[in-house]
Amino acid sequence: MVLSLPMRILLVEDEEKVARFIERGLKAELYAVDIARDGKTAIYHLEHDPYDVVILDINLPDVSGNDVLRYIRKSSRPVPVLVLTARSGISDKVESFGQGADDYLTKPFSFTELLLRVNALLRRGQIINTNDVLHIADLSLNRAAHQVKRSNRVIELTSKEFALLEYLMANAGRVLSRTMIVEHVWDQSFEGLSNIVDVYVRQLRVKIDEGENLKLLRTVRGVGYSITEEGA
């Protein structure tokens, strides 16, 4: 993404260490990040600077995250908001969405997931990359024709395998967690289902990488899977 101005993100988080690693990660992705440690500071920042996305921890001292959310919704500049919370209760989720949160992430989360969600919020209203064909090295995936090729070898994939490969290739170079894969490909999230990801990745690896010198599917222990040109 080459832009004249970096995208500007306001991170509202009272836990210093959490704020620090998110900031570092986002800066590595070339985003400009401001940090607010409490609700008052957050509102002050929002009054004075234009932001492209707000990452908001809902549990804040003094002015609560929900108050900040309400403030944003009332202001004249609509900013997409990603809410972070330490609770997984449905009531919190409902409340946050009711207050106008655009997305929702429960702690602890994978940073890649945070990044993908922030990117999705930033892309909103813009034309989404809908290339019909995705490429990694000599692997190509044709969305329209539902076809996958390695060099000139046509690879037969089941629909779930195809969806998994498409998700990995659309986020090439990024490590995707099992949870993210289950939520995206299976549209669900259960502990027992995350084992399925391993099975599918293994099947996919056999079909794509077996017999090839350059292995594209990479396992990052404890984090997840990715597909990269550098190989595994």
Partner 1 sequence: MKASRSIRTKLITFYVGILALVFVCFGLYIYAGFKTYLIHSIRQTLTWRAQQIASTFLQEIPVKGESMVGNEIQTRYAPELNERVIRITDARGHQVYGSKNSEVLAQALPEPVPGNQSESAPIPSQVMLPNGDRLEVITVSRRIADGAIYTVEVGAPETDISTALAGLTGTLILGFPFLIGLAIGGGYILLGRALKPVDQIVSAAEAITSKNLRQRLPVSKTGDEFERLSSALNRMIERLDKSFQLTTRFAADASHELRTPLTIMRGELEALVKDPAMNEDLAERIGNVLEEAERLTRIIEGLLLVSRLETGEAQMRKDKFDLGEMINEISDQMAPLANDKLLTLNRRITPGVLVEGDEMRLQQVGVNLLDNAFKYTPEGGEVSLEVWAESDFAIIVVSDTGMGISDQALPHIFDRFFRAEQARTSRTSGTGLGLSIVQSIVEAHGGKVLVESQEGLGAQFRVELPLVKLPDTVMMEKIGVGV
Contact residues for partner 1 (CB under 8 A)?
15, 17-18, 21-22, 24-25, 59, 86-91, 106-112, 175, 186, 188, 190-193, 195-196, 199-200, 202-203, 220-223
Q: Which is nearer to partner 1, 46 or 114 (CB)?
A: 114
Q: Which is nearer to partner 1, 106 or 140 (CB)?
A: 106
Q: How far is the CB of 4 from partner 1 (least distance, A)?
A: 28
Q: How far is the CB of 48 from partner 1 (least distance, A)?
A: 28
Q: How far is the CB of 132 from partner 1 (least distance, A)?
A: 28
Q: Which is nearer to partner 1, 211 or 222 (CB)?
A: 222
Terminal C-alpha separation, the chain: 25
Q: How far is the CB of 108 from partner 1 (least distance, A)?
A: 4
**CA distance linking residue 94 with residue 166, whole number of Å:** 31
Q: How far is the CB of 27 from partner 1 (least distance, A)?
A: 12
Q: Which is nearer to partner 1, 44 or 190 (CB)?
A: 190
Q: How far is CA 224 from CA 110, 111, 140, 219, 231, in A?
A: 10, 12, 22, 6, 15
Residue with tokens 């995250």: 65
**CA distance linking residue 13 with residue 68, whole number of Å:** 12
Kindly report whether the peptide bond that precedes residue 50 is cis, defined as omega within 30 degrees of 0.
no
Query: Is residue 134 within 8 Å of 151, Cβ to Cβ?
Result: no
Backbone phi and psi for residue 57, each to the nearest 5 degrees, phi listed first: -80, 130
Backbone phi and psi for residue 144, each to the nearest 5 degrees, phi listed first: -70, -45
Query: Is residue 229 within 8 Å of 136, Cβ to Cβ?
Result: yes
**CA distance linking residue 112 with residue 116, whole number of Å:** 6
Q: Which is nearer to partner 1, 26 or 46 (CB)?
A: 26
Q: Which is nearer to partner 1, 71 or 109 (CB)?
A: 109
Q: How far is the CB of 144 from partner 1 (least distance, A)?
A: 26
**CA distance linking residue 39 with residue 109, whole number of Å:** 22
